[in-house]
Structure 1
Amino acid sequence: MDEQIRLMDQNLKCLSAAAGKYSQKEDKYEEEIKIITDKLKEAETRAELAERSVAKLEKTTDDLEDKLKCTKEEHLCTQRMLDQTLLDLNEV
């Protein structure tokens, strides 16, 4: 009986040591999870900012393309007017 108690006591000590070891590992893993979660949140925030920047740049590009088109049309109209004026002057 004493031998069984001694063995159970040793087993209890081994289990307690293992529990402490695994508790430390669990704490370490929880800290790693927290760090990785924080990094993920930062990456998501950066991605959202990048998406907004891309949207702004696309809008700016569209606006500039529209402005270029209008300017080309104005230039064409001005060129036609100048050509007609030159023809009128040559007829005089």
Structure 2
Amino acid sequence: MDEQIRLMDQNLKFLSVAEEKYSQKEDKYEEEIKVLTDKLKEAETHAEFAERSVAKLEKTIDDLEDKLKCTKEEHLCTQRMLDQTLLDLNEM
């Protein structure tokens, strides 16, 4: 009976040490999860900001392309008008 009590006491001590060890690991993992969650939130915020910046830049590009197209059309009209004026002057 004493031998069984001694073995049970050893097992209890072993289990207590193992519990403490795993409890520390659990605490470590919980802290790591918290750090990674914070990093994820930061990365998501950064990604959202980048997406908004890209959308603004794409709009700016579209606006500039439209402006370039209009300017080219105006230049073409002006060039035609100048050509016609030159023809009219030459006919005089």
Shorter-chain TM-score: which interval?
over 0.9
Paired residue type of 2:79: Q
Check if 1:38 corresponds to 2:38: yes
Deviations along 1:1-50, whole A, 9 cap, x unmatched?
A: 11111111111111001000000000001111111111111111111111
% same residue: 89
Question: What's the C-alpha RMSD, in Å, of the aligned pairs?
Answer: 0.7
Question: What's 1:74 paired with?
Answer: 74
1:54-73 aligned at under 5 Å gives the runs 54-73=54-73
Question: What's 2:10 paired with?
Answer: 10
**Distance between the aligned counterparts of 2:72 and 2:89, measured in 1?**
25
1:77-88 aligned at under 5 Å gives the runs 77-88=77-88
The unaligned stretches of length 5 or more in structure 1 are none
How many residues are aligned here? 92
- Structure 1: which 4+ aligned runs deviate by more than 4 Å? none
Shift of residue 60 of structure 1?
0.4
Question: What's 1:90 paired with?
Answer: 90
Shift of residue 90 of structure 1?
1.0
Shift of residue 91 of structure 1?
1.1
**Distance between the aligned counterparts of 1:91 and 1:15, measured in 2?**
111
Shift of residue 72 of structure 1?
0.2
